[in-house]
Structure 1
């Protein structure tokens, strides 16, 4: 699925719809250059899942976990990952194959 947007509001609302319709085990891959709205769509997904805490980019932590919504949300930033072993160290498989929603 490709989602195109022309504003922050459209991007956020697309994320809300994804979050509202998300099922356990779903993985969404978000791709784009710096500043195109990856964090905004992530904030929308979180809102659609019922998460009210602040959602921001996990750039320096690799993954942020949000557990307060109807499903857990795992928000990854794999830009700085240089080796697949680093993903194993953070428990990637457990999250991707678990009962939550993953944003990568």
Structure 2
């Protein structure tokens, strides 16, 4: 999953979608990093779709570590990203602890 950090391609939104569907505790740090990554080609995206999909991925992961990352996003300087994170914080209970692993 190191290609998440590769800024040479323009598939980050597709990656965010895949991470949203997978919602793996092993990928929490990568999901967060993707949510806050600044990409030149997304500067015109007024809805911050990559970050939105990443907040969904963190919400669906539903672990305490995912909650920590959403709490960080809820303090983001971007109002929309804050709103996306808060929505997920309010939607999930973050009690899944089965496989709380780091990448």
Please indicate the TM-score interval, normalised by the length of the shorter structure.
0.3 to 0.5
TM-score, length of structure 1 as denominator length: 0.36
By percentage of residues, which structure has more strand?
1
